[in-house]
Amino acid sequence: MVKIGRKEVMFGEPTYVIAEIGINHNGDMKIAKQLVDIAAKAGCDSAKFQTFKETELNFKNLTYPEFTEIKKYCDSKNIQFLSTPHSISAIDFLANLVPAYKLASPFITNDYFVKRVRMKNKPIIASTGSVSHENKRATYLEVNHFLQFINNHIVILYCISKYPCYNFDVDDFVKFVDYYSRYPVGISCHYPGIDFSVDAVKNGACMVEKHITLDDDFDCPDKKVSLNPDKLNELVTTIKSIDRGEL
């Protein structure tokens, strides 16, 4: 079991749903807050962002003070603030804002980065998509190496880093869940729509992470894999029905 804020993440508990805002706010605080509103209204457990160095200027980003404001805004909406650090300085900055660290797939093979996160003594949510799903042995070897550096307070997310990804192998996901059964296992879903996220919950996922956007016409970096508000509501409603044993 992993506790994130007030929520327990484990098989048998209600599925933890992360609304992945990421950088879909385009560096605009107004849009960022609108996306938090959408996530909170849908009943998601957390609204997650991505935090880079403040000096990162190759795309529109939020500043550290703006992330502090967003965290307070999430609190006011009764939704958990999470963010993925993309630098050592971001790890240190987020230490006082997040109840858990979310690691992006490329960083689970960076031993120094992982050790720095571990020093903060917080639960970890880790995606595994940077390792090849065409080479299953490589995937498991990389994840097992990563697990040597952390404690047991971790959620492992099955993930394929293709934007979008159209093929979900249910049998492969079930094997992944079984292999890492000592940990809560979820999915970071880059598949269009909600069907594959729903299939994952039906087959043991304790957590679902899904990108969101303002609407289907809104131009943002992860548009192709993001849910509009109506589809997000549908996803959360369906997951809750599965949790209650109705589906």
Domain chopping of the chain, boundaries: 2-243
Angle at CA 55, nearest 5°, toward 49 and 61? 30
Class of the domain covering 2-243: alpha beta
Q: Give the confidence band of 1 by pLDDT, cuts at 50, 70, 90.
A: confident
pLDDT recorded at residue 134:
56
pLDDT recorded at residue 192:
87
**3-state secondary structure (DSSP) of residue 115:** helix
**3-state secondary structure (DSSP) of residue 116:** helix
Return the percentage of the chain with pLDDT > 70, whole number: 94
Q: Give the confidence band of 135 by pLDDT, cuts at 50, 70, 90.
A: low
pTM: 0.94
Taking alpha carbons only, the member of 56, 41, 78 closest to residue 212 is: 41
The token pair that represents 200 in the structure block: 């994952």
Region 102-113: mean pLDDT is: 91
